[in-house]
Structure 1
């Protein structure tokens, strides 16, 4: 099943006008290739892939696993976190950084070669989404409960270094993206807006509504088309927004419970907890299509490997809810796994 949106040309991206539903096989041909069984104890959050090594960095709550994506072998396991959320890597320094949202918040610095911790940097409560911006040579971290953006240089002393003064955002951030030229875009989930931060001035310079989307969580940037791809939960949409003026250029249907959006080549992706991966692509006749790829329940985060073109999504097997029961189903013990989606 796929959704097809008819388009008219606009600067940067294309505007989505009307929807037609087709049952023909999608042209892009994305599918679930295989499952990597991992098991073990712990939860899950943002997964990060290193395209150069095909290593997966997988937060599991109190520890972060390093897994070879090709063999499925666990290469390392970095302990010591209270609530691990995400990982950013800086290969030129052979360093990785893990956000720990527990307690007062912290960043674990580790060695990419040995997968051992080098030290822990004090942060702020609920240190969560994390990326590395090569343009400004900064690690950038969203801190939801602290309503702030954290920044620091990746060559920070892992034992005694201190973060730069947090930038107040005026709302609860979820994820973030950088344009490489000094601007950072941050989803404010509770405000239904994207905050635009000038890193030189260290303040918010604009706030852009995401309507007709709401509760924005996933965020990715397409630097070539000067657009943001925003995954919204209420309602479930991918919003296409101009990075130049915040204008909403279009909205696309996606699954419920989205957590992550990514850009890979000429396509964009949104992973949702209902067990679907939305793949946005352009057909030869100028239409944009959304292919809905069946993944598995709970597979709401992901990363895209730009070297091999594969997508990796972590999840568990879950117990079945009883008829009439509400709430989240419990993950079954020792069932953690990583799904591999490819073309």
Structure 2
């Protein structure tokens, strides 16, 4: 009798579960805006989920910001045109790409923010990441079409980078931690698959139905890339196993960064739209579009606090219909997007 009742109860629970909706994905909205100020434009923002600090490049300097309070903790000088930051907490080091002039990567102390040295690189040194799996810092030079690599314990004053010709103009990159790195080649409308051990490009995968790929993020669990494309404006989902495009969704204009967190993909666009996409029933769809201030085209995710940070500024009216508007002085801000 007890077994019969248990069986009936189990069947009832299963039947009820079949009528319930699937577990809802997180919903997002702008929770606050932190007014930072200071001079300079901005590019990538790197979030440290352990210390809840933000590293934001500001053209000629890089600000370190407390992600909770918005307080500026440090300001690293000495750049001509800074782009991105990679951090290696185990060595207490950070690295800043400087694309101005002949190009360089600045090495700084993560605690004091003091500059330890400057490594010569190439013009237009841009996107940069640290791959813990291979213990390698990697950056790209858009003008020279190169992938640059070095170990994080490099001599900050006399060290040299290793280079690999990618066969196109790279913008950003992502690594799987097992010896593969994937790089957007913006001018070729492809993603390059690179074998770090063999030091060669294995394949170049088209991003159609997207084009001009810039933003790039990787979900290591499902082996999928999330590629932010500008022309056409698409968030393209690609398998890292064979380069097959498994889905895409429309996004706004001026995308510059993508991310993946908690089963959802994100694309931040300069037109003031923030796209949230997810997979449902084997297909990818736009789940939500969050409106943000214009210019919020890059993002950094704090995976511990489940917050997303987008840098932008207030703008002067455009001087002409197709002219790029200028940022108002001292109006730089960080827009915070959080879960509802």
Give the TM-score of the pair, scaled to structure 1. Answer: 0.89
Aligned partners of 1:105, 1:59: CA distance in 2, in Å? 15
What residue is the counterpart of 1:94 in the other structure?
92
Greater relative contact order structure (CA < 8 Å, 6+ sep): 1
What residue is the counterpart of 1:144 in the other structure?
142
1:305 paired residue among 288, 302, 305: 302
Aligned positions of 1:149-160 closer than 5 A: 149-160=147-158
Aligned partners of 1:27, 1:182: CA distance in 2, in Å? 32
Aligned positions of 1:108-187 closer than 5 A: 108-164=106-162, 166-187=163-184
Which has the larger share of helix? 2
1:216-249 deviation per Cα after TM superposition (whole angstroms, max 9, x unaligned): 0000011111110000000110000000000010
What residue is the counterpart of 2:205 in the other structure?
208
Deviation for aligned residue 1:253: 1.1
What residue is the counterpart of 2:327 in the other structure?
331
Deviation for aligned residue 1:285: 11
Deviation for aligned residue 1:114: 0.7
What residue is the counterpart of 2:70 in the other structure?
72
Deviation for aligned residue 1:193: 0.4
Q: 1:27 to 1:179 in 2, by over 3 A?
A: closer
2:118 alignment partner, SS class:
strand
1:167 alignment partner, SS class:
strand
Aligned partners of 2:219, 2:25: CA distance in 1, in Å? 22
2:90 alignment partner, SS class:
helix
User: How many aligned positions are there?
Assistant: 316
2:294 alignment partner, SS class:
coil
The 4+ residue runs of structure 1 with deviation greater than 2 A are 26-29, 281-290
Deviation for aligned residue 1:290: 2.7
1:44 alignment partner, SS class:
coil
Aligned partners of 1:287, 1:146: CA distance in 2, in Å? 35
Give the TM-score of the pair, scaled to structure 2. Answer: 0.90
1:194 equivalent to 2:191? Answer yes
Work out which of the two has the higher radius of gyration on C-alpha atoms and give 1 or 2: 2
Q: 1:115 to 1:210 in 2, by over 3 A?
A: same
Extract unaligned runs of 5+ from structure 2. Answer: 1-23
Contact 1:28 1:281 in 2 (8 A): no
Aligned partners of 2:121, 2:25: CA distance in 1, in Å? 46
Aligned partners of 1:210, 1:260: CA distance in 2, in Å? 16
Contact 2:191 2:206 in 1 (8 A): yes
Deviation for aligned residue 1:282: 4.6
1:92 alignment partner, SS class:
helix
Extract unaligned runs of 5+ from structure 1. Answer: 1-25
